[in-house]
Chain A
Amino acid sequence: MAMLEVKNLSKSFGSTEVLKDISFTVEKGEVWAIIGPSGSGKSTLLRCINQLEKASGGEIKVCGKDMLIKNEKGKTVYAPPSVLRDIRLNIGLVFQNFNLFPHMNVLRNITEAPVRVLKKNRSEAEKTAMELLGKMGLSDKAKAYPCELSGGQQQRVSIARALALNPEMLFFDEPTSALDPELTGEILKVIKELAAEGMTMVIVTHEMGFARDVADHILFMEGGVIADEGTPEKLFGENASERTKQFLQRFKNN
């Protein structure tokens, strides 16, 4: 079953076209990695699907529901607000710099949306939150404030926060880029565990080894287009495009 269908997606900021004619389909349980140089539009792609940016053209379908469609006149239009809200609940987003709510403790960070948005009762939401924290190895941090946690712990809390809404799909935008190198491992481990559980995920990352390990499919973006794509075997092998090889070479060198 297709969880995410993107067709001919385009996005411009003013006169600069940041995404051009992007198409791909993510099936249930798949893990996709998006790689590419800085400024190639990776974040913008995730943000368009997450409704944090308005797409300029194309079509997006999430869990079979139309989010962005072309109407009879060929104009690109969004689904009505209630549908958009439903769709958004299907996708959890994990940010590069966590964006936890600093004034709420860890437990509250995780329960805020389930209580306010899903109208769950607080004790039930807290029970779920504690389970998630246990999974993240953070049971003892429930009462801590984000500023008291390491970057890696904060990122695990933010993953728990996204999971608390029980999304069908999880997006990560460079989840380890703001972390000290020795802390990236703990996040990558959590993502691998989620992959093993069958979570559908789209991950923007600069961790090439990780992308190769965990992804079923890799998109290589450059200049707002999908420059190359395929299985890790293909992109990291001899059949990759020259450009892909060049890009990956840079990572081997450092």
Chain B
Amino acid sequence: MSAEEIRKVFMILLKYLVPTLKVFGFTLLYSIPLGMIVALLKMCRVKLISWITNIYILIMRGTPLMLQIIVAYYAVPMLKQSENLPGFLNNMLSAVNIQDESFMFNAVIVAFTLNYAAYFAEIFRGGIESIPKGQYEAAASLSMNKLQTFFHVILPQVVKRVVPASANEIITLVKDTSLANVVAYAEITMKAKQQMQNYSSLIPLFIAGLFYFVLAMILTVISASVEKKLNYYK
């Protein structure tokens, strides 16, 4: 490939960095709070709730994300074809317009969010359970209520403990966004593959790899500095 061609490919891929980052950003935005909720549900004293939550986590972690993306994408059109579904499900399905431009993006985000929430949930649960009982008892002896205890005593300590593991997950997510190309979501990896075929050259793939690498490095630096910031206490 000539230098000019490489530059052209670079610019194309740079443009498709945006959809890649969109999947990354929205997945984080939804899966971190959802993961927190799932973690709390799993620790719920009502056995049925923690049991159902556990099944959800097991399925999300036990099956490939790529498969989940395919399911999320094809589930709605497939179900729409089938007859005698319960009424509420029909209503829900008819509310989804599969012709809509954003449908593919939404399906991808649903799959990523549900998958990553399961991973975050396990990290958060580990963090919450690692807080000594004495912290709850000290808060209780000071007459703090459950919410005050959780938000002001427990959560800040959990954040510090889950940052390293969460950072790992977040870096993995950057690379996992490439899985969205399985439903032809136009992001960097898909475009790089097309350009590879265009030019019969591997260089577009290396450029795509470079993009991921730089993103991963940026995240590594950020997470190291966050960890350092949180080191003001032991």
Chain A positions within 8 Å of B, measured between CB atoms, are: 50-52, 85, 88-89, 91-93, 95, 97, 99-103, 112-113, 116-117, 145-147, 158, 161-162, 165
Contact = CB atoms under 8 A, between A and B. Distances in A.
B135 A101 contact: yes
Contacts of A146: 233
A50 B142 CA distance: 10
A85 B144 CA distance: 9
Contact of A52 (B141, B144, B157, B233): B141
Contact of A103 (B134, B141, B233): B233
Contacts of B153: 101, 112
A101 B137 contact: no
A101 B234 contact: no
Contacts of A52: 137, 140-141
Contact of A95 (B134, B152, B157): B134
A137 B223 CA distance: 39
Contact-residue bracket for chain B: 10 to 19
Given A145-B233, A146-B233, A161-B142, A99 B152 contact: no
Given A95-B134, A103-B233, 12 more contacts: A88-B141, A89-B143, A91-B141, A93-B141, A95-B141, A101-B138, A103-B156, A112-B144, A117-B148, A145-B232, A145-B233, A147-B233
A102 B157 contact: yes
A99 B232 contact: no
Contacts of A158: 138
A50 B141 contact: yes
B175 interface: no
Nearest to B232: A145
B142 A165 contact: yes
Contacts of A162: 141-142
Contacts of A100: 138
A112 B135 CA distance: 13
Interface in B193-234: 232-234
A46 to B, nearest CB: 10
Interface string B125-147: 00000001011011011111000
Contacts of B142: 112-113, 117, 161-162, 165
A95 B233 contact: no
A91 B134 CA distance: 17
B124 to A, nearest CB: 17
Residue of B135, B156, B232, B233 contacting most chain A CB atoms (<10 Å): B233
A116 B148 contact: yes
A95 B138 contact: yes
A146 B135 CA distance: 13
A158 B134 CA distance: 13
Contacts of B137: 52, 95, 99
A100 B135 CA distance: 7
13 contacts: A50-B141, A52-B140, A85-B143, A89-B143, A99-B138, A101-B153, A102-B233, A113-B142, A116-B152, A117-B143, A117-B144, A117-B148, A165-B142
